[in-house]
C-alpha cells in the first residue's frame, strides 16, 4: 500500500493509477529494505531516478545516502545515473566518482 499525497488514503501500487516516478519511489524503498537483509558485498543501483520528479529524487537520494553511510553498512553501493541533482547531501563515508562522457558534459557542469 502506498500514498504519495497527504489527503489520500494508501492504495495498492497500480500501473494505471501511479506515475513512473511514483512506482520508482516504491520500488527503490522496497529494494533498500530487502537489501538490508542481504549479505552481498556489492550493490548496484542503475538509473532508479529516471522518471522521478526532483522532490522525490532528493528524498530517495537522502535515504540512500543515510543507508550507505551508516556505520553498520559494510556494503559497497554503485549508483549509476545520467543525472544527479545539485545540492544533495553526502556523508564523509561516501566517495563520489563523476565520469563525463564528452566535453559537453564538462561545460554543462561548469555553468
Closest CA to 25 of 62, 46, 52, 5: 52
In sequence order, what are the beta bridge partners of 11? Answer: 2
- Does residue 111 carry a pLDDT above 60? no
The reported pTM is 0.66
For 22-61, write each residue's pLDDT tens digit.
Answer: 888 888 888 888 877 777 788 777 777 777 888 888 888 8
The interaxial angle of helices 20-35 and 54-69, nearest 10 deg, is: 10
Amino acid at each position: 500500500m502506498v500514498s504519495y499525497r497527504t489527503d489520500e488514503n494508501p492504495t495498492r501500487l497500480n500501473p494505471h493509477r501511479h506515475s513512473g516516478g511514483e512506482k520508482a519511489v516504491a520500488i527503490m524503498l522496497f529494494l533498500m529494505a530487502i537489501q538490508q537483509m542481504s549479505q552481498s558485498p556489492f550493490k548496484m543501483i542503475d538509473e532508479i531516478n529516471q522518471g522521478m520528479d526532483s522532490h522525490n529524487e532528493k528524498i530517495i537520494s537522502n535515504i540512500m545516502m543515510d543507508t550507505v553511510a551508516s556505520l553498520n553498512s559494510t556494503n559497497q553501493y554503485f549508483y549509476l545515473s545520467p543525472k544527479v541533482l545539485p545540492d544533495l547531501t553526502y556523508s564523509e563515508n561516501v566517495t563520489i566518482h563523476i565520469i563525463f562522457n564528452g566535453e559537453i558534459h564538462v561545460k554543462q557542469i561548469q555553468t
